[in-house]
Each structure stands twice: as structure tokens, then as C-alpha cells.
A and B are shown apart, each in its own frame.
Chain A
Amino acid sequence: MRVIVFSWEYPPRVVGKLANYVRELSLRLAKDGGVETFLITYHDYWTGEFEEEGVKVCRVTNPVKTHISVLTWVLTLNQEVERAAANIYYKSGKLIDLIDVQDWHFIPAAVTLKKAFGIPFVYSVESLEDHRSHGANAPFNMAIKSIEWLGTYEASVVLVKSDWMASEVIRAYKVPEAKVKVVNPETKHWFEDILKVYKGVMGEFR
């Protein structure tokens, strides 16, 4: 099994608690899951390919340095994520089983790769724009929400960390209940449960 994880934060770049969670997930995938694990993330200047603790990490930077918002920043960074993912795809004999996209930032890349190569993806939700911006619906917030919606629409599974978040995703984006899976990372079998979700998506997509 070959998986690429997309995350805008990964150690040493730690913005919130997502970075260490994604590291933990990637290490377990590589060590205990028998998964060839690729991780694509952002770093300002520390770019390139690294083998770290059994995980194949690729860090890309933004080709456009000057930006007016995190929205435009994200939207020009996605092409670099696509470039890195395409390099993995072509180098590995065009066999990628699944992409796990953490939060909204790299959803555009995941969707394009799905359309181009037929690679399914899981959208893992850490937080939603509706909560981060306290319900604000200025065009800026709506744009981020539209990207989150696209993620829920195109993903094979929307993976959330609590029952509350499951109900929020269903409320905010009208996601069919059967598409939402809850895996609480605090539980004992969280990793096995995620692996089960991955295998379910692979089986369904074939």
C-alpha cells in the first residue's frame, strides 16, 4: 500500500496541534501499517526530499512570495504540491493507492490528482472555517468554505476526530452520514481504525 499525506504543517514547522498528529500518523503508517508513506508539506526555505524516521518527506515552498491573504497564499502553493505528488506518482510506476489531505489547504491539489489519475482521497478534518472564523461569511471566509465543501464533495471519506465534528460537517456541508467516519486519536485503536478506513476506500475505488 502506498499513501501520500498532504499537510500544511509538519515538524519542524508547527503551527497548531495538527503537525504532531500528522507526524504520529505518518510514523505509524510506515512502521506498523506496512505502508510506503509519503508526506508533502510546506516550508519557507527548507525544501526538497528527505527520509525522516521511515517517512518520505517532501517540503515545497511557495513560488509566489508576496501575498495579500492566506487564501491567495494557499492557492499558488497547491501547484507545487501537485508537482511533488506527480513526481512520486511517475517515479512509483503510477501506483498511488490513496491521498490523505489534512484540512482544507491542499484540497485543490487532491481534487486535480483524483481527476487526472483516479487516485481517491480521504479528507481529514482538524477544524472548520465556520468555527475558526466564528460564523463570519465575508467573501474571504466563503471562499475557504467553498474549498472545504469541495473536499467533502470529492472525498471518498470525510474523516473526523469526534462525534461532534461529524455532526458539524454534516450540518455545514450536507455530507451524507455514511461518508463521514469518526476516529478519535485519543482512543487505543485509533491507528488500526484509520488503516481500516484507508483499506475500505481502496476496496471501494477499485
Chain B
Amino acid sequence: MVGQLRVMMLTWEFPPRIIGGISPHVYYLSKNLAKNGVNVYVVTCDFPGAPDHEVVDGVEVFRIDSYKNPSPDFASWVYLMNMNMQKEAASIVKNLGGVDIFHAHDWLVANAGIGLKHVFRRPLLATIHSTEIGRRNGLHSDYERMIHETEAWLTYEAWRVICCSNYMVSHVKWAFSLPEDKLVMVPNGVDVKEYEKSTVDLNQFRRRFALPEEKIVLFVGRLVYEKGIQVLINAVPKILEKVNAKFVVVGNGYMKEPLWEHVKRMGLTHKVLFTGFVDDETLRNLQKCADVSVVPSLFEPFGIVALEAMAAKSPVVVSDTGGLSEIVEHDVTGVKIYPDNPDSLAWGVTRVLLDECYANRLRENAYHMVVEKFNWEKISQQTKGVYERVLSEYSRTFWA
């Protein structure tokens, strides 16, 4: 290897295109790798108004034609988009005079990553953010099996598979029958500085969502079954028996309508506020105002929203499952509750809301833990370490 390490990141989303958690993940990871002296080339889908080629915070970004004809279904679109991504990336690599490593994020870029690996004979790394079998709690159709097998194919072709939590490491190992030494845990991160930027008067801001005498209980997430929002809604009357609060629910999803109907039937429309999607700044300010942030997920690969709440110094109540179990230490950095249990959730929330000393202790401990353990600077160094290890192993193969 001559000079700086050159990494090509393949991702279907990168800001300003934001669909899920992969976009911010790749953004912060790439930016901090660049700060650590890695040349990062991001190849991603195009987005209205965003340039085809630009340098963002030291990261060179290429946006490719993401196949805009109508497609038969989402998975077919993904494969067609990969056809375009792969041919564009091949030109880019050729013009750059080569790269050292390809790093693919989820099955959404599996084909492109695997093709480029063989064509240029460079190692491929895969980060698995989530799995089809986990999202759907099983495989129920050929469509789901096809995606599952594509994920398996990606992990098979990858030199190493990165997961963001120990829970995901064991889940991915089980789902694709991978050998232990192929898996690496590198956590997800959160940038606490983003929470210090806003100059909005929070007391003023808070009034848009709650009365001064109401505590704010915040939920942030897609309104889908596995996020457990229904558990929180069921706990609302139990919590209101003990403390006056406003429940602010941020996000959209197929459960929004039925949940709202349920709230109406309980006669609690004045206590529950559905905001839908909000912009980043509003979200961060809400997290800063929240007297407690609740993450009641039933399935959670990582649980980045808990870290974000901690960075905003909001106390957290999380269900004891998946990645959340690892992030939170009970009574130290947050409160753990039994998953899918409204009584347990109500107990956790009232405990935080009724004891300010306890809440403040959780806030301080959690904030320090986030700064210490989940900062992107450190995570990018760990990732660079994985790259270097893989390249040193690669240098002893006949491809090198």
C-alpha cells in the first residue's frame, strides 16, 4: 500500500438523502475517517438538488443515477440501482487509479460491492445494520427469502462483517451461520456537538408542545409494531395517575391512525401529541426539553435514538432488548423495563419523573458515557483498525 488508505463506501443513502439510519451513520463515519487521514470516496444514489460530485467535510461524494424508471417492486429496484452503481463505481475506481478497500452498507448495495471486489480484486467489508429475518420476525415469502439470501451472499463475500452491537453480532452469526472470527463489533456513534449548536430559547420552544406544568415524555421513531409505540400509548393512563405529563410522539408509520383512534377512545387527545416528521433542529431541541425519553422497542438492532437522547441530556427509559440492553446500565445511565409491558414502562417513567435527583444522576452519567464510548472519533479509529487488519491479511494472498 502506497500513501494514504483509500476506501470506497457504497451506500444507498447519504445526506441530503435520508431514509433511515444508514445515511447519518455513513456521513459521520466517513467524515471522521477523513479526519483520521483516510481517503474516503462515497458512492451513493442521486438526490434532487444535490450535485453529482462534491467534497463534503473532506469526503469525496459521487452520486449516481439511481435508476428512476418505474420498477416492479422495491427489491427489483435495488438490483437495478446496483447495476448502475457498479458500472459508475468501476469508472470512478479506474479514474482514481484504484482503491484499497470496498465497504458496503447492508444488502442494498450487495451486488455492486461483490462485483467490484472481484473485478478489482480488493477486499470487501460489509456493515450489516439490520436483517430481513429480524425486521419481519421470520421469512414468510420468496420475496423475503430472496433478500435474506442476498444478505447471506454479502456476508459470505465480505472479508469481515461489522455489526453495531454485540446483540447484532450474535444475531447475524446465527442468521447466516457465520464463523465467529469473521464478525467485528464497532458501535454506532452520536455527535454531542450537534446538540450545542441551537440558540433557540428552550422555555419558549417548549410551549409549542406542552403546558409549563406538564412534564414531557418523548417518543422518537417510526410508528411501526417493532418500535413498541403501542406499549407506551397503553401506559399513558397509568402514568397520568401519578404525574401530569404530555406525551410527544415524533415520527410516522402505518400505526399512526389506529393509535390516534385509540387515544381518542381513551379521551386523552389533550395529553398525546403526534407531530409526524420534524426537522433535525426541532428534534434535537425536543430531546433537550424532554423530561424523559422512552424507547419501548420490541426488536432493536442498536437503538441510536437512546444515544441521541443521552447526548441531549434527557433521561432514558428503554426496554431491555437487543442493542438497548448494552447501551443502558440500569439505574446508572438509564432505566430498563420489561419489553412489551405497559406496567413496567409506567413504573420506569414515573420513577424518573417523580425523583429529580435520580433523573439528574442518570442524565450526567449517560452523557459522560456517550462522550466516552460512542464518539465518532473513536469509532472511526476502530474502523480504520479493521481496515488495516484486513489489508495486512490481504497482503499475504495471491490477489495482492
Q: How far is the CB of A87 from chain B (nearest CB, A)?
A: 8
Least CB distance from B109 to A in Å reads 12
| Contact partners of A64 in chain B: CB under 8 A | 146, 149-150, 153
Report the separation of the CA atoms of residues A75 and B76 in the bound assembly, to the nearest whole angstrom.
Answer: 9
Q: Which of B90, B142, B143, B145 contacts A116 (CB 8 A)?
A: B90
**B146 x A79 contact (CB < 8 A):** no
Contact assessment for B115 and A112 in the assembled complex, using a CB-CB cutoff below 8 Å = yes
Number of interface residues of B (CB under 8 A): 34
Partner of B145, one of A66, A69, A71, A112: A66
Assess whether B115 is in contact with A143, with CB atoms less than 8 Å apart: no
Chain B positions within 8 Å of A75 at CB level:
76, 79-80, 82-83, 111
Q: Which of A109-150 contact B (CB under 8 A)?
A: 109, 111-113, 115-118, 138-140, 142-143, 146-147
Give B78-90 as 1s and 0s: 1 = Cβ < 8 Å from A's Cβ atoms: 0110110011101
Pairwise interchain contact A72-B146, C-beta atoms closer than 8 A: yes
- In the complex, the answer to whether B91 meets A68 with C-beta atoms within 8 Å is no
Q: Is A45 an interface residue (CB 8 A)?
A: no
Cβ–Cβ < 8 Å partners of A112 in chain B: 86-87, 90, 115, 119
Summarize A's interface: helix, strand, loop or mixed. Answer: helix
Bound Cα distance from A18 to B145, whole angstroms: 31
B71: chain A residues within 8 A (beta carbon) = 139, 143
Q: Is the CB of A68 within 8 A of B111?
A: no
Let me know if B146 and A68 touch, CB within 8 A.
yes
Residues of A within 8 A of B143 (CB): 68
Determine the chain A residues whose CB is within 8 A of the CB of B83 once the complex forms. 75, 78, 108, 147
**Do A82 and B142 form a contact, CB below 8 Å, given A65-B149, A68-B75, A108-B83?**
no
Q: Are A86 and B76 in contact, with the CB atoms below 8 A?
A: no
Contact between chains at B72 and A140 (CB < 8 Å): yes
Interchain CB contact under 8 A, A76 and B76: no
Residue of A nearest to B398 (CB): A90
Bound form: Cα–Cα A118–B111 in Å: 21
Report if A83 contacts B (CB, 8 A). yes
For residue B70, CB closer than 8 A to chain A, the reply is yes
Query: Does B69 belong to the interface (CB within 8 Å)?
Result: yes
Q: Is A63 an interface residue (CB 8 A)?
A: yes
Interface contact A90-B121, CB-CB below 8 Å: yes
> Restricting to A76-117, which residues have a CB under 8 Å from any CB of B?
76, 78-79, 82-83, 86-87, 90, 108-109, 111-113, 115-117
Q: Are A138 and B111 in contact (CB under 8 A)?
A: no
A165 to B70, CA, bound (A): 27
Most B CB contacts (10 A, CB to CB) among A68, A71, A109 go to: A68
Complex contacts, B355 vs chain A, CB 8 Å: none
CA distance A66 to B150 in the complex (A): 9
Q: Which residue of B lies closest to A84 (CB)?
A: B118
- Nearest CB of chain B from residue A123's CB, rounded to whole Å: 15
CB distance from B66 to the nearest CB of A (A): 13
Partner of A66, one of B93, B114, B149: B149
The smallest beta-carbon distance between B78 and chain A, in angstroms, is 9
Nearest residue in A to B92 (C-beta to C-beta)? A115
User: With A75-B79, A139-B69, A143-B80 as given contacts, are A86 and B121 in contact (CB-CB < 8 Å)?
Assistant: yes
Q: Can you name 12 extra interface pairs (CB under 8 A) apart from A68-B143, A69-B72, A82-B115?
A: A64-B150, A64-B153, A76-B111, A78-B111, A79-B114, A79-B118, A86-B118, A109-B115, A116-B119, A118-B94, A140-B76, A142-B70
Give residues in B with beta carbon < 8 Å to A. 67, 69-73, 75-76, 79-80, 82-83, 86-88, 90-91, 93-94, 111, 114-115, 118-121, 142-143, 145-146, 149-150, 153, 156
Provide a sorted-by-A list of 21 A–B residue pairs whose CB atoms are within 8 angstroms: A68-B76, A68-B142, A75-B79, A75-B82, A79-B114, A79-B115, A79-B118, A82-B118, A87-B118, A112-B119, A116-B90, A116-B119, A117-B119, A139-B70, A139-B72, A140-B72, A143-B71, A143-B72, A146-B69, A146-B80, A147-B83
